[in-house]
């Protein structure tokens, strides 16, 4: 299944726009309950106004809230970003850390966000267990676990570590494009012959093809 996903999505990558570990960390915090497309519309203004960790740490919360308002939960996200920046400034001399234990100790940063940053900004393999990832590995019949950490560890035993980051992208891309939550396009799925959940969505190829989506996504 991993091989087929690799063939289907040879260009799978992080769909958040960023240039530095700090920018990816900020963008990932903003992506909670928000589409990548919307985040990418907001971050150019945000990144230009706050180019350094210190700029975020000393930001006026009301000004930041207005910039990120359209991403939803803007007050909580503002608090997370400012708190994270202050912690990075105080604990890590203004540099986003490249270790899981240090990242998850930052305000507003969980394992999912940490693995996104590690895998895509530092080249450290990590599995991004978001809602798409969880849904798909259960549909694949790989696990019936619902706890993200347990899923991460279980799938980590199945997939070679060097592929963890790109495998996450493949699964997430598949979950956004074909194996969507409500009506998966089973009849257009390259994994159809291997998937125990085949038939959850329309199996007619013509009908299923109409359900296939294009990105960027949430």
| Res 214: pLDDT | 80
- Looking at the structure, tell me whether residues 117 and 54 fall in a common domain: yes
Kindly report the pTM of this predicted structure: 0.93
Same domain, 112 and 151: no
Q: Which of 37, 55, 60, 130 is catalytic?
A: 130
- Evaluated on CA atoms 191, 194, 195, 199, the torsion sign reads positive
In whole angstroms, what is the distance from residue 4 CA to residue 191 CA? 7
158 located within any domain: yes
Q: Supply the pLDDT for residue 218.
A: 46
Q: What is the CATH number of the domain that holds 78?
A: 1.10.340.30
Residue where a domain terminates, one of 122, 157, 188: 122
DSSP 134: H
Contact in structure between 85 and 57 (CB atoms under 8 Å): yes
Q: Is 147 a catalytic residue?
A: no
**Which pLDDT value is given to residue 11?**
96
What pLDDT does residue 201 have? 97
Domain with 165 in it: 128-211
User: Quick one: pLDDT at residue 50?
Assistant: 98
Q: Tell me, what CATH number does 205's domain have? A: 1.10.1670.10
Number of domains present in the structure of the chain: 2
CB atoms < 10 A from the CB of 12, how many? Answer: 19
Position 204 in a domain: yes
Q: Are residues 135 and 198 in the same domain?
A: yes
Q: Which of 107, 122, 137 is the last residue of a domain?
A: 122
CB atoms within 10 A of CB 158: 12
Same domain for 80 and 27? yes
Q: How far apart are the first and last CA of the chain?
A: 23
Is there a binding annotation on residue 189? yes
Q: Is residue 195 a known part of a binding site?
A: yes
Spatial contact of 193 and 214, defined as CB atoms under 8 Å apart: no
| Contact by Cβ (8 Å): 129, 154 | no
Q: How confident is the prediction along the chain (218 residues), in pLDDT tens digits per residue?
A: 999 999 999 999 999 999 999 999 999 999 999 999 999 999 999 999 999 999 999 999 999 999 999 999 999 999 999 999 999 999 999 999 999 999 999 999 999 999 999 999 999 999 999 999 999 999 999 999 999 999 999 999 999 999 999 999 999 999 999 999 999 999 999 999 999 999 999 999 999 999 999 865 54
Note whether 71 and 152 are same-domain residues: no
Which of 122, 146, 162 corresponds to the end of one domain? 122
Burial bucket for residue 44 (CB in 10 Å: 0-12, 13-18, 19+): exposed
Q: Does residue 16 contact residue 24 with C-beta atoms inside 8 Å?
A: yes
Per-residue pLDDT tens digits for 48-57: 999 999 999 9
- Single out the catalytic residue among 112, 147, 150, 204: 112
Question: In the chain, which ranges are E strands?
Answer: none
For the question of residue 210 being annotated catalytic, the response is no
So what's the pLDDT on residue 145? 96
């Amino acid at each position: 299944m991993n091989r087929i996903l690799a063939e289907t999505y040879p260009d799978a990558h992080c769909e958040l726009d960023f240039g530095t570990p700090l920018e990816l960390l900020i963008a990932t915090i903003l992506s909670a309950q928000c589409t990548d497309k919307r985040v990418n519309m907001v971050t150019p203004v945000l990144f230009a106004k706050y180019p350094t960790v210190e700029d975020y740490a000393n930001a006026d919360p009301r000004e930041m809230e207005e910039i990120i308002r359209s991403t939803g939960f803007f007050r909580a996200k503002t608090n997370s970003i400012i708190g994270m920046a202050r912690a990075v400034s105080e604990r890590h001399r203004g540099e986003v850390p490249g270790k899981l234990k240090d990242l998850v100790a930052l305000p507003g940063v969980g394992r999912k966000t940490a693995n996104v940053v590690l895998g895509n900004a530092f080249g450290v393999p990590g599995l991004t267990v978001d809602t798409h990832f969880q849904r798909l590995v259960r549909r694949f019949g790989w696990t019936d676990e619902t706890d993200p950490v347990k899923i991460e560890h279980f799938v980590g035993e199945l997939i070679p570590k060097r592929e963890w980051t790109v495998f996450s992208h493949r699964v997430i891309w598949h979950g956004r494009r074909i194996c969507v939550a409500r009506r998966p396009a089973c009849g257009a799925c390259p994994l159809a012959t291997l998937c125990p959940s085949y038939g959850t969505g329309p199996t007619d190829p013509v009908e299923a093809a109409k359900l296939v989506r294009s990105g960027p996504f949430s």
